[in-house]
């Protein structure tokens, strides 16, 4: 019995060490893999759609600072004719939590025409946003708008769904060191989850009728 417990202990230890090494390695590989797909705004070639990912709301229902920077970057793309439409994708599972609506409100305040804004209310995760962009909104190519820490995962997922995507950084302001440490730590685990979802789990997000962006 002691031998069985010892072997079990060794197995658990081996799995734990392997996981502890694999998760950050996946994140590092993803950072290197997609570094050339992140393009300065001024060098972007025109594409039809910019995809903007949700990033949380404040208590008053307005976008978080990180989300405001994403919206501002997308509106700049629109004004500089880098894109024709903006797809705001976020979480709206609860009546008092509406990321796409908050993004649209802020974009309108910045001067974006309402006719050029499309809302995806079921972008609960980056995986869901990319999946729905392809299969609900029929996006074949896009500029992904988010911060540098998030762009590699977003690019990986959109490319896996056959969206020809490039990324543009929405790092407009200086974020607090504590905030960035938290986001980066979250991203390390989220990147491993994204790889698991694509190759193993393959979940199907909330779907619905097709709404091609034309």
Report if residue 211 sits inside a domain: no
Report if residue 159 sits inside a domain: yes
Report if residue 149 sits inside a domain: yes
Report if residue 213 sits inside a domain: no
pLDDT grade, residue 96 (50/70/90)?
confident
pLDDT of residue 176: 86
pLDDT (tens digit, 9 = 90+) per residue, 123-141?
999 999 999 999 999 999 9
CB 52 within 8 A of CB 84: no
Of the candidates 132, 145, 152, 148, which has an alpha carbon nearest to the alpha carbon of residue 54? 145
CB 171 within 8 A of CB 70: no
Query: And the tokens for 77?
Result: 């793309």
What pTM does this model have?
0.92
Whether 28 shows a pLDDT value over 90: the answer reads yes
Report if residue 212 sits inside a domain: no
Report if residue 208 sits inside a domain: no
Number of domains in the chain: 1
Report if residue 188 sits inside a domain: yes
List the CATH number of the domain containing 144. Answer: 3.40.50.620
pLDDT grade, residue 9 (50/70/90)?
low
Domain of 32?
Answer: 2-201
Whether 5 shows a pLDDT value over 70: the answer reads no
């Amino acid at each position: 019995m002691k031998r069985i417990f010892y072997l079990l202990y060794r197995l658990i230890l081996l799995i734990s060490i392997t996981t502890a090494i694999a998760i950050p390695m996946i994140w590092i590989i993803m950072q290197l893999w997609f570094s050339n797909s992140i393009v300065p705004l001024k060098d972007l070639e025109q594409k039809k759609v910019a995809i903007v990912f949700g990033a949380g709301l404040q208590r008053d229902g307005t976008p978080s600072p990180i989300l405001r920077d994403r919206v501002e970057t997308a509106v700049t793309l629109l004004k500089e004719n880098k894109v024709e439409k903006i797809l705001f994708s976020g979480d709206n599972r609860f009546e008092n939590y509406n990321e796409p609506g908050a993004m649209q409100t802020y974009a309108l305040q910045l001067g974006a025409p309402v006719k050029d804004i499309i809302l995806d209310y079921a972008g609960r995760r980056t995986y869901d946003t990319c999946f729905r962009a392809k299969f609900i909104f029929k996006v074949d190519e896009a500029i992904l708008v988010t911060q540098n820490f998030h762009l590699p995962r977003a690019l990986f997922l959109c490319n896996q769904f056959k969206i020809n995507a490039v990324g543009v950084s929405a790092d407009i302001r200086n974020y607090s060191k504590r905030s960035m440490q938290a986001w980066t730590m979250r991203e390390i685990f989220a990147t491993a989850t994204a790889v698991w979802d694509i190759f193993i789990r393959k979940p199907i997000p909330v779907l619905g009728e097709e709404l091609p962006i034309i």
